Amino acid sequence: MAWAPVAIGLCALYLPTFLAFSRTIWETEEQAHGPLIVAVVIWLLWDKRQFFIDSAGDPRPGIGWLLLSIGLLGYVLGRSQSIPLLDIGSFIPVAFGILLAMKGWPGVRALWFPVLFFAFAIPLPGLIVDAATGPLKQTVSAVAESILYATGYPIARSGVILNVGQYQLLVADACSGLNSMFSLSALGLLYLYLMRYRSYLHIGLILLSILPIAFAANIVRVMILVLVTYHLGDEAGQGFIHGFAGMVLFIAALLMLFAFDGVLRMAFRQVRTA
């Protein structure tokens, strides 16, 4: 019951933010994963509640109140000045500040992952998105063109514009792969947390595979859209198949990650039994 006022206070602070985001930022394709991240964080916190309650108390009010003050200052600035990064991002220092002030480091060790996982609900700053999107689009376009040209298709590229047959396709920001990399990273980290692997090599190899898998899946997505447009026309390439291809390729990337993990488990099992 001692934590009930804390939970009520957090809800009073962040429910208005979540509601505002649900009508704005989370309605965009780039940030549609936000509500799912929040739901996962709530589930993880609930799942770890008993472990947290049973953890030894060793309050650190000094650093706890400092973090809490920084977080609340960020929240006030974010809400008053409409800065999403500070508005929703303030949850992390606020949560860690409360944990340290009331439970100390044992409390942080119990709930560190759910709190840090919340970072995936924070919109990336536009500066970072703009800096990453351009090079990614260029690389995706170049690789897709090279593969299709090598297989005999009449394709040429000018920057991020692909010309295939009579059609011209622009590789848009959504096709850069940044969103799928971000989402797959979140799911990959959640998967590793739930699997509880002890081998740092195993964990490291899976982490290193996330971005290449997401990037490769996005190249395949662009190639599929080019082929659909070439064989079935522009209307087919820009219609239902355009959105459907993104969803299917993301699921395929996730399955590739699981398959890679399966290969690693077999390899490590053979090493242990050798």
Residues with catalytic function: 175, 221
Angle in degrees, 0-180, between the axes of helices 126-150 and 200-232, rounded to the nearest 10: 60
Q: In this structure, what token pair is assigned to residue 175?
A: 């096709």
Q: Which residue from 237, 257, 137 is spatially nearest to 185, judged by alpha carbons?
A: 257
Tokens standing for 96?
């860690």
CB 217, CB 180: distance < 8 Å: yes
Are the C-beta atoms of 77 and 84 separated by less than 8 Å? no
Q: Please, is 143 exposed, middle or buried when counting C-beta atoms within 10 Å of its C-beta (0-12, 13-18, 19+)?
A: middle
* Contact between 101 and 61 (Cβ < 8 Å): yes
Residue 236 neighbours by CB under 8 Å, 6+ apart: 228, 229
Q: 3-state class of 2 per DSSP?
A: coil
The amino acid present at 55, given as its one-letter code, is: S
Q: Is the dihedral of CA 219, 147, 245, 209 positive or negative?
A: negative
Question: 197 pairs with which residues across the strands?
Answer: none
CB 225 within 8 Å of CB 235? no
